[in-house]
Amino acid sequence: MMLRYENVSYTYPATNTGVFDISLEIGRGELLAIIGASGCGKSTVLKLLAGFMKPDAGRVLIDGQDVSDRLPETRQLGIVFQSYALFPHMRLWENVAYPLKVRGVNRSERRARAAAMLARVGMADRADDHPAMLSGGQQQRVALARALVYEPRGLLLDEPLSALDAALRLEMRDEILRVQRAAGIATLLVTHDQEEALSIADKVAVMRNGRLLQVGTPRELYETPVNAEVAGFVGQSNLWPGQVAGDGRVTTAFGALACDTGGHQVGSSVTVFVRPERIVPYSEESGAANGPFTGAVMADRYLGPIRRIDLAIGDSLIRLETHLREAVTSITIPPDAVRLLPAH
Amino acid sequence: MPFITIAYLIFLAAPVLLLALGSFGESWSNTLLPTGFTGRWFAEIASDPSFRRAFGTSLEIVALTCALNVLIGLPLAYAIQAGARGGLRIAARLVTFLPVAVPELVLAFGFILVFSSDALPWLGSFWLLAAGHLVLTLPYTVTALLADMDQLDLEAFENAAATLGASFAARFCDITLPLLGTSLLSTTLTVAALSIGEFQLSNLVSGFLSRTYPVVLLQAFYGATGFACAATIVLLSLATIASLTSSLTALAAGAGKTTA
């Protein structure tokens, strides 16, 4: 079970928007999430795999088989739609059994397999209800059961959690991951919620304007983003313009920072990238490899376990996160927290 | 406000009530209300060969118009819904809706011009009349079905069914028809009501042997008042049954949607 895009491009008729040169691979049991702002093309990528659109260039492969020209009904994929799309005139077990019905499975076996699948998503006791009687989370479970009952070659999730409220979203996130792991199925998740993607995906692809910016593990994306766009989209970040100086330092508007400048020419412009939680409030014992820098507190947000503070130093803004409860006006930035990205 | 509503209803219903009274009246001339009571006007209509034939023709035309509306209107609405985007969609809707905007008289003249030629000498035939009724009623079918398809978000269900492996035929039988069933029934009954009462086009296009009931009804007004009233009441009853059942199914469909 493997899903694969090879240099796939699609342009919407009479526009210049679409997706361009997409190459992705999702292995057996792997969960790949595509994230990006709305309109970035992530849903188009899903539709190309589902078969609702055909690529203008490149190939879409399922288990090594080119399916670019195949109709959706022949692709053997399970899809959970944003609206769930449960058939309102069918009972839950009939909904789940529908893929079996069109495959010619007899009624008693259909019923049994649908019941088993409903049990796997915790909906066994509702088999004879109609979809209208269910809450959003319950419909979500049934949609997942229906998408997996015929052992498809891949699972596609299109913003599956966006219609649920926050608490239920966390619960269903774990539920989807549990069912996906149990089925050991290659899964493509499309979402605008980067936290959702980072928490359940094996690999995350960041898209912008129809192109892939970076594909990597959540950790790679968070710690070593390839550019300022990825850094800015995934989590909180400080992104300052800077210039590489000769002595293993980079100069910024608020001062020079010691860091690893390997691979960058002296004098070249860069974007200096530091995650807020890597910035340390200055104290005697912490010392100061870089700084200390002292500024005025512009914002101090209490977020429960941490505070997110914006310090202004001249025209620069430094965002940091700390679990300290005391006032913070001086900070230091450890050299290994600083990464240099290409200039904007 | 209730007073105005009641007055309006009386204004609407008065002619019908007077017709009903007249149809059972022995004679009605120069009096406010008819005198005497008789059922003979209905008996006369029932035994009149031209009325009997027209009644039969009307039922046949209605049945055929409804059937053709389903057979042509459903695929047409489906094609517009599934295939047409942007400008094409607007154009398709405009063309289907045009017969409503064009006066029936104009349409009938068009039929007369085209189908009285030697190449297409079909004026006065039963089938041409049915075709005329189809042209007049199809806009209602297509518009109603398109609106319901949008409201039901039929496309989402069909896409879901397709990804689950359902062929076009399976999707049509398992998803489209059941979901559109009530809508289709309600639309068909509306078409029946329209077709039963249609006069302008039928009067100009129908032949002597293919006259529909409303066309023959016109003749009744040259005879006795009671006979005319009774003949009208027959038509009115048919139209009322069609309209009522249509409204009721539409209501049932609406109720179904809100609970779903």
Enumerate residue ranges in chain B where pLDDT < 70.
84-86, 253-260
Q: Do A214 and A126 belong to one domain?
A: yes
Chain A CB contacts of B167 below 8 Å: 73, 102
A132 touching B (Cβ < 8 Å): yes
Dihedral class, residue B252 (left if φ above 0, else alpha if ψ from -120 to 50, else beta): alpha
In angstroms, the separation between the Cα of residue A98 and the nearest Cα of chain B is: 8
Q: What is the pLDDT of residues B149-194, one digit of tens each?
A: 888 888 899 999 999 999 999 999 999 989 998 888 889 988 998 9
Q: How many helical (H) and strand (E) elements, i.e. helices and strands, does chain B have?
A: 13, 0
Domains of chain B: 37-255 (1.10.3720.10)
Please report the pLDDT score of residue A287 as a whole number: 66
Chain A CB contacts of B179 below 8 Å: 87-89
Q: Do A249 and A194 belong to one domain?
A: no
Q: And the tokens for A335?
A: 């050299």
Mean pLDDT of A76-87: 92
Please report the pLDDT score of residue B258 as a whole number: 45
Of the candidates B156, B165, B166, the beta carbon closest to that of A81 is on B156
Q: Do A210 and A258 belong to one domain?
A: no
| Cα end-to-end distance, chain A, whole Å | 39
A77 touching B (Cβ < 8 Å): yes
Q: What is the pLDDT of residues A221-258, one digit of tens each?
A: 999 999 999 998 888 999 999 999 888 899 999 988 98
Please report the pLDDT score of residue A71 as a whole number: 92
User: Where among A228, A247, A263 does a domain terminate?
Assistant: A228
Q: Do A13 and A154 belong to one domain?
A: yes
Please report the pLDDT score of residue A78 as a whole number: 92
Tell me which residue range forms the domain holding A129. Answer: 3-228
Q: Do A210 and A242 belong to one domain?
A: no
Distance CA A275, CA A339 (A): 9
Is the confidence at residue A140, as pLDDT, over 70? Answer: yes
Q: Do A203 and A105 belong to one domain?
A: yes
Give the number of domains in chain A. Answer: 2
Please report the pLDDT score of residue B251 as a whole number: 78
Q: What is the pLDDT of residues A288-302, one digit of tens each?
A: 678 789 989 999 999
Please report the pLDDT score of residue A327 as a whole number: 84
Distance CA A80, CA A147 (A): 6
A150 touching B (Cβ < 8 Å): yes
Q: Do A261 and A296 belong to one domain?
A: yes
Q: Do A115 and A30 belong to one domain?
A: yes
In angstroms, the separation between the Cα of residue A43 and the nearest Cα of chain B is: 14
Q: Do A165 and A222 belong to one domain?
A: yes
Q: What is the pLDDT of residues A38-68, one digit of tens each?
A: 889 999 999 999 999 999 999 999 999 999 9
Chain A CB contacts of B255 below 8 Å: none
Give the domain CATH number at A83.
3.40.50.300
Burial environment of residue B39 by CB neighbours within 10 A (0 to 12, 13 to 18, 19 or more): exposed
Q: Do A218 and A265 belong to one domain?
A: no
Mean pLDDT of A87-109: 94
Is the confidence at residue A282, as pLDDT, over 70? Answer: yes
Buried b / exposed e over B169-193, threshold 16 CB at 10 Å, is ebbbebbbeebbebbbbbbbbbbbb
Any long-range contacts for B3-11 (C-beta under 8 Å, 24+ apart)? none
Please report the pLDDT score of residue A288 as a whole number: 66
pTM of the model: 0.79
Interface residue ranges in chain B relative to chain A, Cβ cutoff 8 Å: 153, 156-157, 159-167, 170, 174-175, 178-179, 259-260
Distances (CA, A) of B166 to A140, A224, A262: 21, 44, 57
Q: What is the pLDDT of residues A159-218, one digit of tens each?
A: 888 877 888 888 888 888 988 998 899 999 999 888 889 989 999 999 999 999 999 999
Residues A85, B157: C-beta atoms closer than 8 Å? yes
Chain A CB contacts of B160 below 8 Å: 79, 81, 85, 87
Residues B164, A98: C-beta atoms closer than 8 Å? yes
Q: Do A58 and A128 belong to one domain?
A: yes
Q: Do A187 and A251 belong to one domain?
A: no
The average confidence (pLDDT) of chain A is 91
- At A122, which amino acid appears? G
User: Where among A206, A228, A250 does a domain terminate?
Assistant: A228
User: Where among A178, A203, A228 does a domain terminate?
Assistant: A228
